[in-house]
Amino acid sequence: MLIPYNPYEPAFNQWRRRARQLNNIRYYASDMMEYLGIKEEQEINSVVERALKACAAMDIPIEENFMCVYRSGGTGLIPDWKLSSLACYLVTINGDPANPKIARAQLFFVL
């Protein structure tokens, strides 16, 4: 894990802040794909991009909610996203409501 260097902040505080960010990020986008019935990797990537834009528009720190990671798969490393609870919500509400599983998940967040 790389920790950005800030000469005005003690190293321990930087490490502690980064550890808090990482603890907040716990879900994989690829796992959400399966749960939401998304079959194409391109579809989940476009939904994540829309969620990232929503975060940026609301000045929500992206690095605290989204992290690009690589997971090992049958053919090597596979790019994936780790998401916070907020990021999962944003991904879900930015999904295609024509998909029944996504529509049910969107309703879950409303109730």
Residue pLDDT tens, the chain, 111 long? 444 555 565 555 665 666 566 566 788 898 888 888 888 888 888 999 999 999 999 999 898 899 999 988 788 888 899 998 889 889 999 999 999 888 888 888 776
Structural domain boundaries enclosing 86? 11-110
Overall number of domains in the chain: 1
What is the spatial distance between Cα 105 and Cα 97, in angstroms, rounded to a whole number?
Answer: 9
Pick from 30, 20, 24: nearest CA to 81: 30
- Per DSSP bridges, beta strands 76-83 and 27-28 are antiparallel
Do residues 111 and 101 touch, judged by C-beta distance below 8 A?
no
Alpha helix positions (H), 25-76: 29-36, 41-57
User: Does residue 6 sit within a domain?
Assistant: no
Residue 5 lies in a domain: no
47 falls within a domain: yes
- Would residue 24 count as lying in a domain? yes
Q: Considering the domain boundaries, does residue 30 fall inside one? A: yes
0.85 cut: is pTM over it?
Answer: no
Say if 80 falls within a structural domain.
Answer: yes
pLDDT of residue 1: 44
What are the residues whose beta carbons fall under 8 Å from the beta carbon of 99, sequence distance 6 or more?
Answer: 36, 37, 38
